[in-house]
């Protein structure tokens, strides 16, 4: 599902699902772009805090080692 949040500054934030790997998140992003939301992108969160994708990759790699 594609969720819509109306922000106080007038913008609309869309979100869709929780993914446990980047390939699945990117595939969903492309599907969303295909329906017309051309500026869709993937974000990562850890303990409720937004991270860069590189920070998220580092966390995953550190958990594995």
Q: Are strands 49-51 and 12-15 parallel, antiparallel or unpaired?
A: unpaired
Q: Residue 21: in which H helix or E strand, if any?
A: none
14-29 tens-digit pLDDT: 888 899 889 999 999 9
pTM of the model: 0.73
Residues 22, 43: Cα–Cα separation, whole Å: 10
Flag whether pLDDT at 65 surpasses 60: no
Tokens (6 digits) for 54: 């590189």
Structural tokens at position 52: 């860069």
**Mean pLDDT, the chain, whole residue set:** 89
């Amino acid at each position: 599902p594609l969720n819509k949040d109306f922000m106080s500054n007038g913008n609309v934030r869309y979100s869709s699902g929780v993914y446990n790997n980047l390939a699945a998140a990117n595939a969903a992003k492309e599907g969303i772009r295909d329906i017309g939301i051309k500026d869709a992108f993937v974000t990562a969160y850890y303990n409720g805090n937004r991270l860069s994708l590189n920070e998220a990759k580092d966390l995953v790699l550190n958990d594995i080692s």
